[in-house]
Chain A
Amino acid sequence: MDVQLKRGLLDICVLSAIRDEDSYGYRIVKDMKPYVQISESTLYPILRRLEAAQLLTVCTAEHNGRLRKYYHITDLGLKRIEEFKVEWNEIIGIYNYIMREDAQHE
């Protein structure tokens, strides 16, 4: 897939992975894996970027005698997901346009 396109999509995927409840790195990757190709090393810069953009916040909590970072979505992050849904409708419009051209050629 086109790198830029995938990058944008992964951001939204990560946001939606923490939308319903706070999550941590390992679980985010595990939750996303059935749907998107992502590795822990790809996730790391995305989390940093989303944190810098204030789309999520990080809090550290104890788990089994060690510290674990939990990622919590902000209102801005929720808004970003909603914006994406609107954008996606535009993309579907473009997709339909492309497919119509294809149908004519066949």
Chain B
Amino acid sequence: MNKQEFLSALAQRLSALPEAERDASLAYYSEIIDDALEEGMSQEEAVESLGDIDQIVSQIVADVPLSKLVKKQLKPKKTLKAWEIVLIILGSPVWLPLLLSAVIVVAAVYICIWAVVISLYAVDLALGASAFAMLVCSVVFFALRSPVAALWMLAAALILAGLTILFFLLSNLCAKYTAILGKKICIGFKKMIVSKEGAK
């Protein structure tokens, strides 16, 4: 790929970004390539030294706030023809509910996952409460002079306490991965907006 090919490929991939944002990125990479050429590299070498274009795009996109991307999407473009506007408006009873329901489904699934995580914590809380109750019972039975039953209950309390700690660690692990998943969904959504635009 030579310089011009690289820059137009990058411009196409970034076409969903606000214009100023895109131009700034293009100017930056154009300058880097020019400086590399001055060092005696060939155009191909200079472009290759920049690395994978996918990674370049995601690094630029990750830095642009989601609100800016969406705002750009909502702004009608100058090239929009009259019949396109009519189609969009006439079609809105179809695509608007579809888009909304898609977003809601993704959100609902994500909330469900969190619900499972929260229920794990609830189970853990119940385990902890039973451990405490067993301990109290054990003390009561000891006071009632039945040490064998008290010992049994103490053992049960210890087992429950162990389970509580184990479950707590497990719940924490689940919560951590759910949070990571949420972050990934957000990045995926951003990328989807950009690539849809780039394909046009």
Interface residues of A (CB under 8 A from B): 24-27, 39-42, 44-45, 48-49, 64, 66-69
- Interface size class on chain B is 20 to 34
Say what secondary structure dominates the interface of chain B. helix
**Chain A, Cβ-Cβ closest to B29:** A40
Taking a contact as CB atoms closer than 8 A, the residue among A25, A41, A42 that contacts B31 in the complex is A25
Q: For residue A93, give the distance in angstroms from its CB to the closest CB of chain B.
A: 29
Q: Is B19 positioned at the interface, with any CB of A under 8 Å from its CB?
A: no
Tell me if A's interface is mostly helix, strand, loop or mixed. helix
Query: Do A44 and B38 touch across chains, with their CB atoms under 8 A apart?
Result: no
**How distant is A42 from chain B, measured CB to nearest CB, in Å?**
7
A44 and B31 contacting across the interface, CB-CB below 8 Å = no
Assuming the contacts A41-B51, A42-B59, A45-B59, asked whether A64 and B31 have C-beta atoms less than 8 A apart, the reply is no
Give the chain A neighbours of B31 by CB distance below 8 A: 24-26, 66-69
Q: Tell me how far the C-beta of B35 lies from the nearest C-beta in chain A, rounded to whole angstroms.
A: 3
**Closest-CB distance, B17 to chain A (whole angstroms):** 13
